Amino acid sequence: MKDLLSILRDAPGSIRLEVSGEDLLAFSKSLIDRAKEELATQVAEARKERYLTKEQVKELCGICDATLWHWNRKGYLKAVKVGNKVRYRTSDIQRILGERDGK
């Protein structure tokens, strides 16, 4: 049988399928395997990521508490909870600094 995922992707609208239990199990296993791979990639990237404190971010960006609060509120620089602490991704800081340099 053709791969169910490709059938679903290629279908322009509603479709009806008749599949065997074996095909359905294989399909669910392929979805689970794909989700595991994506999650493993995200976890690996998160482990590589460094997180900075509020004070470090303010010093690097040359901003005050109010600006940092506004940036977080507007989604320009989102805070991340690590346990019960608030941190900021180094990659986000680099993006902001890059945008500033580009102007």
20 phi and psi, to 5 degrees?
Answer: -80, 165
Q: How many domains does the chain have?
A: 2
The mean pLDDT value for 46-52 works out to 83
98 phi and psi, to 5 degrees?
Answer: -65, -40
Q: Does the pLDDT value for residue 55 go beyond 60? A: yes
Q: Which domain holds residue 97?
A: 49-102
Q: Give the domain CATH number at 91.
A: 1.10.1660
Note whether 42 and 74 are same-domain residues.
no
Note whether 56 and 39 are same-domain residues.
no
Q: Does the pLDDT value for residue 1 go beyond 60? A: no
Q: How many residues does the chain have?
A: 103
Note whether 40 and 82 are same-domain residues.
no
Question: pLDDT band at 103, cuts 50/70/90?
Answer: low
pLDDT digits (tens, 9 = 90+) for 9-47: 888 788 888 888 998 898 899 899 999 999 998 888 777
Amino acid at 53: T
Note whether 22 and 43 are same-domain residues.
yes
